[in-house]
Structure 1
Amino acid sequence: MIKGIISGLLLPLLAMLMVGCGPKKVEEAVTIAINPWPGYELLYLAKQKGFYRQVGANIELVQVSTLSDAQRAYLTGHVDGFASTMIEAIQVAPLGGKPIKIVLLADYSDGGDVIIAPTSIENMQALRGQTIGCEVSSLGIFVLERALRQHQMQLDDVNVINVEQGAAVSALALGKIAAMVTYPPYSVEIQSSGAYRQLFSTKEIPEEVLDTLSISSSVLAEHPQLVDQIHQAWQLTLDYMRQHPEEAMAIMAKREGLQVAEFKEALADLKLLSSKEQHKLFVQRDKLTQLGYSVCETLVKIGAIESDCLHVDNLFYQVP
């Protein structure tokens, strides 16, 4: 009888000990929406090479088509964060989204974002009175406004319609639009026919379009090591690219649907930022904050958002 009682007590205890000695529970994945763009491919390369796992992070990347889609996925609560330009990140608060922090500064667009038109249109001035396609709710309208301003025009001088990146080729071919604000890999496809020319690129507005990674503030509170882990994985990926350039380029080009030479050319129009360069920007916040306010004020001016822009002060991750 006593033996049976002892046995009955020991079995549950042994079961508890066996559970305690088993594999540790894997933390729930942090999900990030990401659209096609050469700079964001480093995030995928880090995943494929196991760098997130190596630094202890559990990250899942959710593929979407456009910057607007990435932002929308976050606003609707389907993901914990998203890759985008600073424009989409700044819009989150005015659009009622949950608070975010920009935690990674991937690259500056240094010619990657462009305005493309048929070869019959010689310059930006020739677009006066014409219909131009862009992603009205995100980066496209910002780039268009800055391009027009650079060439002594404003949005009222053109007709603007919303055209998703995937529909740009047909919209241009059918004459629905005279020009399109676009970026790789979509811009590469458009220009491959030889029937179009580039009227403007972000080379004319250096360091104004900053590509970023934003994560929900509440998720960051639950994962205090996440930002450091992301930066470690990012630097491991940059190092891997330098050590194995051909393999890395082939992997990233394939995912973007581009030839290796095309991908290399597109990547050359970006200024990738190392973790050290990013840390300097995060610590010396004046440049980031000034750029944030400039972007926000432009978005307010063109009616893309309604805001006093004060949320920009708390948008960037505070380095400990």
Structure 2
Amino acid sequence: MKIARLTRTLIASIGFALLTQPLVAHAEVKIGVSDWPGWVAWYVAEQKGYFKKHGADVKLVWFANYTDSISALSAGQVDGNSQTWSDTMAPLAKGIPLKTILVNDNSAGNDALMVGPKIKSFKDLKGKKIALEEYSISHFLLTMALNRNGMTLKDVKVINLSAGDAAAAFMAGRVDAAVVWNPWVNTIQTSGKGKPLFTSKDVPGLVPDLLVVQEKSLKAKRKDFVGMVRAWYDVEAFLRSNPDEAAKIMSKVVGLDAKSYKVFLPGTQFFDQKANLQAFGPASDKTSLMGVAPTIAKFLLDNKLMEGKVDFAKGLDASLVKEVAGVK
């Protein structure tokens, strides 16, 4: 069976490349973090003192390899991890007791189907070569984009390349389109060689980035996790009011300059309290976690990235978000 890897490998080659193993220090709550803006933003909480402010004893554990962080959570080596809803489903299907307690963000333009000037609409893509990283978020986004426009993957020729190589192939004219994430979306656009035909902004809710925790850790250290939720809302407010300082903090974590890192922020919809309450809402809201779950699960099952069924509700715990908001 292929391991589910609807993953974030964002700029891993240039961000903390020397850290091949996570450095874990003894702490009350250990939280895995890897290279995605909605997760790197936890370092704002650390540096601005928001964890301490809300009584959360937290140690952020950096993983240079995102998939290692998923494995670490499933094995109980960390108390919680920063991971996608899609990457949480395979462990849940195996019966691993995990709970999603917070939505950090949705990709809202950071992932995109980039096309050249000759491609005016989806019908122009029929039979064309599209480069992307198979089974990644890019593969998922292309599937959704084609489905929404009356097409399927059978209508195009998928070329399996890493995100960086896909962007290079597109800019060199070796493929007709590429599905990539930032910084390559921005690189292609600023080069004048391509523009987005479809982005993650067109599928609200389908690319949620989360804080997922071990059920046993949640029971034992609930106070710390409630404090983390409160700290996150401070982070979200800080990102809006002080974007330059936030970019400076976050860019240092991944080894970029602040100006380069700011490219990622507009394409990331950071979730505040109101957005979190909605995200944990009923399945009738098609942008909620329950609402998007069947679509994500279908993609995983169709591509043999997951075995078995998932009890979506069992993998969610809205009680912390509700406690902080003072609602039942």
Q: Same fold by TM-score, threshold 0.5 exceeded?
A: yes
Identity %: 27
Q: Residues 204-243 of structure 1: matches in 2 within 5 Å?
A: 204-243=202-241
Spell out, residue by residue over 1:130-181, the C-alpha distance to the aligned partner (whole angstroms, 9 max, x if none).
3433343342222111011122110122233443334434443566654332
Structure 1: which amino acid aligns with 2:308? S
Structure 1 residue 32, shift from structure 2 partner: 0.7
- Of residues 174, 177, 183 in structure 2, which corresponds to 1:179? 177
8 Å CA contact retained: 1:103, 1:317: yes
8 Å CA contact retained: 2:281, 2:290: no
Per the alignment, residue 15 of structure 1 pairs with none
Structure 1: which amino acid aligns with 2:300? L
Spell out, residue by residue over 1:210-235, the C-alpha distance to the aligned partner (whole angstroms, 9 max, x if none).
22221222332332223212111101
Spell out, residue by residue over 1:42-76, the C-alpha distance to the aligned partner (whole angstroms, 9 max, x if none).
2222123232243322221314356x565455456
- The total of aligned residue pairs comes to 292
Per the alignment, residue 11 of structure 1 pairs with none
Spell out, residue by residue over 1:5-45, the C-alpha distance to the aligned partner (whole angstroms, 9 max, x if none).
xxxxxxxxxxxxxxxxxxxxx6344131322x333332222
The reply on whether 1:115 has 2:116 as its aligned counterpart is no
Secondary structure of 1:27's aligned partner: coil
C-alpha RMSD of matched pairs (Å): 3.3
Structure 2: which amino acid aligns with 1:251? I
Task: Tell me the distance in 2 between the aligned counterparts of 1:76 and 1:126.
Answer: 46
8 Å CA contact retained: 2:70, 2:87: yes
Per the alignment, residue 10 of structure 1 pairs with none
Spell out, residue by residue over 1:183-228, the C-alpha distance to the aligned partner (whole angstroms, 9 max, x if none).
2234223434332222211232233322222122233233222321
Spell out, residue by residue over 1:90-129, the C-alpha distance to the aligned partner (whole angstroms, 9 max, x if none).
23334x4733211111123332321123445444333323
Per the alignment, residue 57 of structure 2 pairs with 57
Task: Tell me the distance in 1 between the aligned counterparts of 2:137 and 2:216.
Answer: 26
Gaps of 5+ in 2: 1-25, 321-328
TM-score of the pair, normalised by structure 1: 0.75
Per the alignment, residue 156 of structure 2 pairs with 158
Per the alignment, residue 290 of structure 2 pairs with 289
Task: Tell me the distance in 2 between the aligned counterparts of 1:118 and 1:111.
Answer: 18
Task: Tell me the distance in 2 between the aligned counterparts of 1:180 and 1:229.
Answer: 41
Counterparts in 2 of 1:210 and 1:232: CA distance versus 1, 3 Å: same
Task: Tell me the distance in 2 between the aligned counterparts of 1:247 and 1:101.
Answer: 32
Counterparts in 2 of 1:104 and 1:205: CA distance versus 1, 3 Å: same
Higher Rg: 1
Q: Residues 83-102 of structure 1: matches in 2 within 5 Å?
A: 83-94=82-93, 96=94, 98-102=96-100
Task: Tell me the distance in 1 between the aligned counterparts of 2:307 and 2:201.
Answer: 28
The reply on whether 1:33 has 2:33 as its aligned counterpart is yes
Per the alignment, residue 315 of structure 1 pairs with 315
